[in-house]
């Protein structure tokens, strides 16, 4: 049974035709010897855990551009609402903008309902937006928060599927972090134990995954309180140099010295005060 | 990781445009539904994969669409979740308009509408099952491509290929609820043992006039067969 493809003009919705063109251009550019600009990715380890009183979210702080570290201390735990935070892995711009858009919409929604926003609402909004873009927005998110229905944790994939689970990991270091979780997770942990577990899971990602590194950020969300611990653990401190390339005065012998004064007149002087209130 | 090809899906699998991108989350699965006198028994495994990594080993693929209507999801996780959310909304609205419980056939039709209209963009194999006062327990299957048909017993997902023989030889009309539960659990266990994309726990649900009873069979409690 053969398919007959009919050329149909899209009425409304998104057109992804340029993606084919971009793929062809990319192939051609490589033949000419240039390289297409690399999107900055947060090859990452992010994770979250539900414990007795709330959720703990964790993230590393390395942002990479190809094989180069673009930002040694970027913040991957984004604010969504006072009781909901979201960690983002994937393309840095996508996670940043997506979380900001949903945060704005959620604030408007919250003003409209007159209630504290729910984690499930943020999850719905994020998954519907990502599905609409059919995976072209490269944002893999760990969404966590506490609302009137209790603490909740969701993992959200770029194509728009979500899972509601007691512990989740995402990003290139997710397998290393999940190994730690599968070994030591217990339901209803105390706060200190949960923080230690998340810290160790992110550390596993940092030390075993090339795309993750630098420090560990934590965000502890409970009913009525959020502890944004940035950094919680400086796992990779920059080393102190043992030698010095500065030479003392007099190392090089001075043979002659000539001083020329530059006589400059002040022509015009004006002062503009800045309003710093 | 294609869904089983027992329906007319030649056009689908030979379509040169279709490639599996490595970071789709897939519900390559085993799902099953059986009608009995007074209701339906539905079951599914619990594995969601991204490539070779199991993204969620305790997935719930039995999604409530209405009080006594469920759907079993297989295929792309994102597609099936989005479709199920849309149909849940449409069916809820329809039920309020009607001021009575919706028919299972209506739910299945809504799924079919969406799956057929957007068949080129979607990858979703869904089994709709439930109980309504007019026709009792019903199972409708809406495989990839958007066909809809009512069947007394239906299996779906990548693991279903391995259990067609078991299902065809062991199904009898007029089984009781307990017999259906045992039949479903055993069929799913056999599929999970052989299919790499299925595994985890077995989730079962019984939908009848009394409501919905859900149960979970953990890995170590699954029925044992001699060769596995």
| Residue B24 to residue A135, Cβ atoms within 8 A | yes
d(CA A79, CA A73): 17
Flag whether residue A159 sits within 8 Å of chain B, measured between CB atoms: yes
Q: How far is B107 from chain A (nearest CA, A)?
A: 21
Partners of residue A155 in chain B, C-beta under 8 Å: 55-56
Name the nearest CA neighbour of A122 among A156, A90, A93, A171: A156
What percentage of chain B carries pLDDT values higher than 90? Answer: 85
ipTM of the complex: 0.84
Q: Specify the range with the lowest mean pLDDT, choosing from A79-88, B21-30, B111-120.
A: B21-30
Which two tokens mark B214? 């859900």
CB distance B163 to B190 below 8 Å: yes
Q: Specify the range with the lowest mean pLDDT, choosing from A25-39, A202-216, A233-247.
A: A25-39
Considering chain A, what is the average pLDDT of its residues? 90
| Residue A159 to residue B59, Cβ atoms within 8 A | no
Angle at A25 between CA A24 and CA A30, to 5 degrees: 105
Chosen from A161, A164, A168 to mutate, greatest number of chain B CBs within 10 A? A161
| Residue A161 to residue B10, Cβ atoms within 8 A | no
| pLDDT(A2) > 70 | no
| Residue A3 to residue B23, Cβ atoms within 8 A | no
Superfamily classification of domain A45-234: Aminohydrolase, N-terminal nucleophile (Ntn) domain (3.60.20.10)
d(CA B145, CA B123): 8
CB distance B84 to B70 below 8 Å: no
Flag whether residue A165 sits within 8 Å of chain B, measured between CB atoms: yes
* pLDDT 10s digits, A226-250: 999 988 888 888 888 888 888 888 8
pTM for the whole structure: 0.81
Considering chain B, what is the average pLDDT of its residues? 89
| pLDDT(B9) > 60 | no
Q: How far is B77 from chain A (nearest CA, A)?
A: 6
Flag whether residue A161 sits within 8 Å of chain B, measured between CB atoms: yes
What does the DSSP 8-state code read for residue B26?
B
Domain boundaries, chain B: 31-217
| Residue B77 to residue A2, Cβ atoms within 8 A | no
Q: Regarding predicted confidence, which is higher, A22 or A39?
A: A22
Q: Which fold would CATH assign to domain B31-217?
A: 3.60.20
Comparing alpha-carbon positions, the chain B residue that sits nearest to A130 is B78
* pLDDT 10s digits, B167-201: 999 999 999 999 999 999 999 999 999 999 999 99
CB distance A144 to A26 below 8 Å: no
Domain boundaries, chain A: 45-234
Mean pLDDT of the A129-148 span? 95
SS3 B107: helix
Name the nearest CA neighbour of A205 among A231, A172, A238, A236: A172
* pLDDT confidence band for B166 (50 / 70 / 90): very high
Q: How far apart are the first and last CA of chain A?
A: 74
Q: Phi-psi region for residue B156, left (φ > 0), alpha (ψ -120 to 50) or beta? A: beta
**Sign of dihedral through CA atoms A199, A205, A206, A211?**
negative
pLDDT at position A21 is: 83
pLDDT at position A8 is: 58
CB distance A130 to A97 below 8 Å: no
pLDDT at position B22 is: 42
Q: How far is B142 from chain A (nearest CA, A)?
A: 20
pLDDT at position B99 is: 96
């Amino acid at each position: 049974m053969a398919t007959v493809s009919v050329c149909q003009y899209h009425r409304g919705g998104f057109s992804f035709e340029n993606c084919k063109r971009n793929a062809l251009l990319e192939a051609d550019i490589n033949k000419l010897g240039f390289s297409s600009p690399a999107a900055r990715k947060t090859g990452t380890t992010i994770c979250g855990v539900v414990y007795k009183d709330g959720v703990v979210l964790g993230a590393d702080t390395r942002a990479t551009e190809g094989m180069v570290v673009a930002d040694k201390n970027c913040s991957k735990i984004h604010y969504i609402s006072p009781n909901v935070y979201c960690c983002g892995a994937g393309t840095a711009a996508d996670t940043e903008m997506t979380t900001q858009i949903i945060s704005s919409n959620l604030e408007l929604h919250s003003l409209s309902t007159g209630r504290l926003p729910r984690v499930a609402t943020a999850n719905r909004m994020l998954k519907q937006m990502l599905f609409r873009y059919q995976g072209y927005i490269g944002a893999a998110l760990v969404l966590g928060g506490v609302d009137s229905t209790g603490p909740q944790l969701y993992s959200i994939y770029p194509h728009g599927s979500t899972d509601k689970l007691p512990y989740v990991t995402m990003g290139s270091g997710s397998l290393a972090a999940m190994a730690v979780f599968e070994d030591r997770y217990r339901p209803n942990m105390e706060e200190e134990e949960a923080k230690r577990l998340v810290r160790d899971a992110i550390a596993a990602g940092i030390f075993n995954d090339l795309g993750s590194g630098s420090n560990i950020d934590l965000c502890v969300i409970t009913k009525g309180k959020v502890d944004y611990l940035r950094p919680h653990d400086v796992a990779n401190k920059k080393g102190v140099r043992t030698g010095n390339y500065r030479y003392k005065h007099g190392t090089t012998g001075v043979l002659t010295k000539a001083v020329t004064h530059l006589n400059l007149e002040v022509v015009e002087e004006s002062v503009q005060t800045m309003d710093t209130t | 990781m294609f869904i089983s090809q027992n329906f007319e899906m030649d056009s689908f699998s030979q379509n040169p445009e279709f490639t599996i991108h490595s970071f789709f989350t897939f519900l390559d699965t085993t799902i099953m539904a059986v009608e009995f006198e007074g209701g339906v028994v539905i079951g599914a495994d619990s594995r969601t994969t991204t490539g070779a990594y199991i993204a969620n080993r305790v997935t719930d693929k039995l999604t409530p669409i209405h009080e006594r209507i469920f759907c079993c999801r297989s295929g792309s996780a994102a597609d099936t979740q989005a479709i199920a959310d849309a149909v849940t909304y449409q069916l809820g609205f329809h039920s309020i308009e009607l001021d009575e419980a919706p028919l299972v056939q209506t739910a299945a039709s809504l799924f079919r509408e969406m799956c057929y209209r957007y068949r080129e963009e979607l990858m979703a194999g869904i089994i709709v099952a439930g109980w309504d006062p007019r026709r009792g327990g019903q199972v409708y299957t809406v495989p990839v491509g958007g066909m809809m048909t009512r069947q007394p017993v239906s299996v779906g997902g990548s693991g279903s290929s391995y259990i067609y023989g078991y299902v065809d030889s062991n199904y009898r009309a007029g089984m009781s609820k307990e017999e259906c539960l045992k039949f479903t659990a055993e069929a799913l266990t056999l599929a999970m043992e052989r299919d790499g994309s299925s595994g985890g726990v077995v989730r079962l649900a019984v939908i009848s006039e009394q409501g919905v009873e859900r149960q979970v069979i953990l890995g170590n409690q699954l029925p044992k067969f001699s060769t596995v």
